[in-house]
Structure 1
């Protein structure tokens, strides 16, 4: 009874407040269709690299100066690794979020690449799901035809994801998982993906600059980056931590650290400085009474972002050389 009263109170606060946080940008721009030029042999190399060595499990912690991995966050999700597919458990809100994030990813990719195959709109697209957990988002993207690689530093979560997807024969050759960090993958996967997804991930990372750099490294030129996360506002602290964690227990206490939240403005600046341009940002809201997510004009609590990796600009020397050749009568331009 107490939880229900608190839930109604906080939801009324949410719906009746006049937010001063407005939508930054929702740009609808037409893009040229980009077709995949090569096929992907699913998982072969990833599974080979993830085998046991000398009878000992492969360690995922890296001894480098910059890493996206926060060991404290890994310990949090290690304790919940077996609960990913409990529809009424700690991850119920993430299951419900698929109603928004899957269409958001699908529609923006179709705007960039066009329809690849009827019934399988994301066919021939290669997607990296960073912090995939138990595969809650990887599986529906695979059913849309994409070849999906889900990565997560928590090996127990990866095993849960593999087990769950194995029950669906349509996913066995389309969705693959690997226990590793993003920076480990970036060392071997240069410009290999059409899209990278980090849904409810960046608020758990240790270094966002390293994250953005690795995303740019693994994306093809013109590739898409999708992020859903929590804004850093007083309202997000009240609803996302005090209400959701401490009062309503929608997620376990201690799941989030408000200091790691990031505003859309700061995230956009970070991505712009890392070689991306932001295409769209949309506000999201979760109703704890109905368990349903909805799009909102305000980004004061949760938001979804779509950014695109900038294509390399021509080198000034090449442009100058071509213009010199064009200035000479009867001489064809040189493209060497």
Structure 2
């Protein structure tokens, strides 16, 4: 178990909340609210229809299902058995087909290397002991010429204030302890890991939240939440 790139406490934390994944008023409300923005951003960069897609760290399947609705063939992988059971159940209820697997990204990369047109890995890198290993696995999973998308949290005083003090304590949008500030990743660090893995970073986008309108928007401010789009050179 020591070689598995996962934090048992993190898996446990999300497993305990698994039954609430698809409740848009629950702790996962922010994920439901940002999902349409992320989905459209990905789909604009690479139209998902007919593509073979894998969502690494899919949790309860919010992004995975929405990509399947765009007529992509979607696989979702995670290490939380409870979250995957919820994802499977919701897939049956909604009639949206997604293949879910309980498997580590690195293991999946060995089993199905170069099989995917698109790899997404959202809100996961800041929850694992070795983010660079996940990035390498995503690179291995994608076909040459394919697209890889990551999202994570920047590490600076503003992100601590917004993502932890604001979101977890003041606005109570997320359960206390959802994030560990020490695991946040700066754009420079992520860019370096992306280059080291052999990917080309194409663009970076910020994700903002207005507490007054309670609306999320895509912008160029990467100081808190941000997403990156990469391509594996053909």
Q: Distance in 2 between matches of 1:259 and 1:184?
A: 26
| Partner residue in 1 for 2:213 | 290
Q: Does 1:270 align with 2:196?
A: no
| Partner residue in 1 for 2:38 | 101
Give the number of the structure whose alpha-carbon radius of gyration is greater. Answer: 1
Deviation at 1:63, TM superposition (A): 4.2
Deviation at 1:180, TM superposition (A): 1.6
SS at match of 2:190: helix
Moved over 3 A (4+): 288-291
User: Residues 298-309 of structure 1 correspond to what in structure 2 (within 5 A)?
Assistant: 298-309=221-232
CA deviation digits over 1:19-62, x for unaligned, max 9? xxxxxxxxxxxxxxxxxxxxxxxxxxxxxxxxxxxxxxxxxxx4
SS at match of 2:165: helix
CA deviation digits over 1:122-155, x for unaligned, max 9? 2321111111111110111001010000111000
SS at match of 2:146: strand
Deviation at 1:176, TM superposition (A): 1.3
CA deviation digits over 1:191-217, x for unaligned, max 9? 111111111111101102211211111
Match of 1:162 among 85, 88, 92: 88
In structure 2, list runs of 5 or more residues that go unmatched. Answer: none
CA contact (8 A) 1:97 1:292 kept: no
Distance change >3 Å, CA 291–CA 152, structure 1 → 2: farther
State the TM-score, normalized to the length of structure 2.
0.96
Q: Does 1:206 align with 2:129?
A: yes
Which structure features the higher share of strand residues? 2
Deviation at 1:68, TM superposition (A): 2.6
Q: Pairwise CA RMSD of aligned residues? A: 1.3
SS at match of 2:88: helix
| Partner residue in 1 for 2:163 | 240
SS at match of 1:68: coil
User: Residues 82-101 of structure 1 correspond to what in structure 2 (within 5 A)?
Assistant: 82-101=19-38
SS at match of 1:195: strand
SS at match of 2:216: strand
Aligned length: 234
